[in-house]
């Protein structure tokens, strides 16, 4: 959802203008499902969370999404620039579902740091989590790119050491890449989120 909602719209616009006769089909599914469809030849190209750990797929790093703590603007941490992970031990948290790549990455990070999150809600949707954070249900760790100017009820706080999410392209290793695929990749690289790697 992050890439489809927040990164790809200007890419699709630029691609459509440059190649108006090329039909683009956008399939929005989790990384593992997209990787499987690319492997089966149902999709030419996938923009996914890396790594996919599939030898049959070629991977190209495109950018990184920085994770941040997201709190309601009336929260005691909202004015802070940064906070240590262990200072959040009693904080109610809304976590991305463990079935998502970002959710698994966060849980691994917590385990490596001996942090026991006080989870009040699990969800697979960034938008759902943002709505509940605004309502004061808890705080959340989300990709920075999903918190936009329209999210007036949310504040971002840096947590040192939080992992970044690697986003990249995958295609079948050895498969012919069309002019359209190469153009799409070029547009993704040109429109990648500027504040991230």
18 contacts: CB under 8 Å, gap ≥ 6: 183, 187
Whole-number Å distance between alpha carbons of 71 and 154: 6
Output the CA angle 107-196-13, nearest 5 degrees.
Answer: 110
Query: Bridge-partner residues for 92, per DSSP?
Result: 118
What does the pLDDT look like over 109-129, one tens digit per residue? 999 999 999 999 999 889 999
Q: How many CB atoms lie within 10 A of CB 54?
A: 16
125 contacts: CB under 8 Å, gap ≥ 6: 1
Residue 100: pLDDT band by 50, 70, 90 thresholds? confident
62 sits in which H/E element: strand 57-72
pTM of the model: 0.83
What does the pLDDT look like over 142-169, one tens digit per residue? 999 899 888 999 999 999 999 999 999 9
What does the pLDDT look like over 29-71, one tens digit per residue? 888 899 999 999 999 999 998 988 899 999 999 989 999 999 9
């Amino acid at each position: 959802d992050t890439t489809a909602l927040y990164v790809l719209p200007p890419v699709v616009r630029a691609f459509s203008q440059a190649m108006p006769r090329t039909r683009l089909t956008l399939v929005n599914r989790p990384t593992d499902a997209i990787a499987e469809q690319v492997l089966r030849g149902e999709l030419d190209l996938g923009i996914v969370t890396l790594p996919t750990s599939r030898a049959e797929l070629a991977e190209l790093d495109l950018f990184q999404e920085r994770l941040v703590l997201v709190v309601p603007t009336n929260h005691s941490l909202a004015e802070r620039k940064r906070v240590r992970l262990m200072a959040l031990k009693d904080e109610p948290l809304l976590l991305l579902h463990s079935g998502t790549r970002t959710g698994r990455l966060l849980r691994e990070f917590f385990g490596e740091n001996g942090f026991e999150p006080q989870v009040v809600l699990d969800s697979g949707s960034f938008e759902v989590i943002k709505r509940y954070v605004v309502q004061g249900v808890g705080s959340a760790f989300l990709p920075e790119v999903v918190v936009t100017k329209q999210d007036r009820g949310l504040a971002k706080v840096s947590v040192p050491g939080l992992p970044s999410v690697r986003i990249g392209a995958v295609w079948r290793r050895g498969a012919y890449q069309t002019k359209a695929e190469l153009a799409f990749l070029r547009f993704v690289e040109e429109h990648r989120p500027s504040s991230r790697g």
